[in-house]
Amino acid sequence: KGLPPLHFEKLACTACHAGPWPGDHPQVVQTSLAHELGEPAHRKSDDPPQIVAPVFLKGADGRIAPYRLVWPAFWGLMEGDQIRPLNPETAYKELRRALRVRRDFRKELVRVRLSTEEKASVLGEDRAKVPEMKLTEQEKAKLQELVQKKRAEGFPEKLAAALKDLGKKHPDTTPVYVAGGKVYRLGADGKLEQFEHAAAEPYAWPLGHDVRPASQSLGAGGCTDCHSDGSALFYGTVTALGPAPDTTPKTTVMYELQGLDPDLLKVWNESFRGRPAFKWFAFIAVGLTAAIVIVFLLVGLNGLIRLLFRRSR
């Protein structure tokens, strides 16, 4: 009973006791800094920042702990293997005409306006004329699905035009756009291509609150809270987020981020799966062995008593 000491060498206290309860996917979370709390004009938008938690990573001390993750998003210039971010103000000035952006890059870059005909294609002619606030949740979901589809279709064209325009202003470099764990650039054929680069890797910082009591800690339900197929600690899926509408977002499993061997994890999971049955088998085996020993002791004691009784006569 209790937690084997090895866990304190491999896990930080916060791994089991801090942050929201882990699930199949980390949650999108708000932070005071991202919300610009305390600033004269803090963000009032309802959409949360693209920060996820908890993501279980190894810290500098080698112990697994929960972290918040955010992926960088910026325009940049690539020289050799190095990517240099463009100053946001410079990017805004150089791209506002090509992208037809007035104020907010993040929103206007993926803005989609549906025509009445497009709405009618999914809602029907009568419902397409109804104000959005009076639509049912199912109808709103259909419209949102159509918006996402049009974003994915229109974004590559917008992005290619922007990168081409940047290329004219910076002829000795390769213009790139970094978002969602990927880097976008124009290939030799002028078509948009994407690749992975260290500049697109997420930033992580440790999570310490809210603190959960022992009854709500990871492991309170037994060893299989962690040592089972599909457990959030090792098998949760982290999907990269960014302003670019990506139909095939970059996804990573927790154990890959932790640098652990999946085959070894599977062996551990199998061993804990049969652990309760093994315990019962062990208890029964020990009980039977004890019973046999007691029987033999009683038989031996009976023989000794009879022998002593005969000699006394």
pLDDT band at 128 (very low <50, low <70, confident <90, very high): confident
pLDDT score, position 82: 94
pLDDT score, position 33: 79
**Under 8 Å between Cβ of 114 and 146:** yes
Domain residue ranges in the chain: 6-71+202-273, 74-197, 276-313
Average pLDDT score, the chain: 84
pLDDT score of 167 more than 70: yes
Half-sphere exposure of 207 (CA within 13 A, CB side): 35
pLDDT score of 253 more than 80: yes
d(CA 219, CA 202): 28
Q: Evaluate if pTM is beyond 0.85.
A: no
Comparing CA positions, the residue from 115, 104, 114 lying closest to residue 144 is 114
pLDDT score of 2 more than 80: no
Sheet strand arrangement including 27-28:
27-28, 51-58, 64-70, 203-206
More reliable by pLDDT, 191 or 281 = 191
pLDDT digits (tens, 9 = 90+) for 54-78: 999 999 999 999 999 999 999 999 9
pLDDT digits (tens, 9 = 90+) for 211-245: 888 888 888 888 878 888 888 889 999 999 988 88
pLDDT score, position 110: 65
In the block, residue with structure tokens 């927790």: 254
pLDDT score, position 43: 62
**Under 8 Å between Cβ of 182 and 200:** yes
Buried b (16+ CB within 10 A) or exposed e, 188-206: eeeeeebeebebbebebee
| Mean pLDDT for the stretch of residues 143-153 | 79
pLDDT score, position 85: 94
d(CA 152, CA 180): 14
Helical axes 275-312 vs 262-273, angle rounded to 10°: 50
Give the H/E segment covering residue 95: helix 88-99
d(CA 91, CA 78): 14
pLDDT score of 1 more than 70: no
d(CA 285, CA 279): 10
pLDDT score, position 74: 93
Q: CA-CA distances (angstroms) from residue 246 to 79, 108, 180, 242, 250?
A: 25, 16, 8, 8, 9
pLDDT band at 174 (very low <50, low <70, confident <90, very high): very high
3-state secondary structure of 252: strand
Question: In the chain, pLDDT over 90 holds for what percent of residues?
Answer: 29
| Mean pLDDT for the stretch of residues 67-92 | 92
3-state secondary structure of 206: strand
pLDDT score of 45 more than 70: no
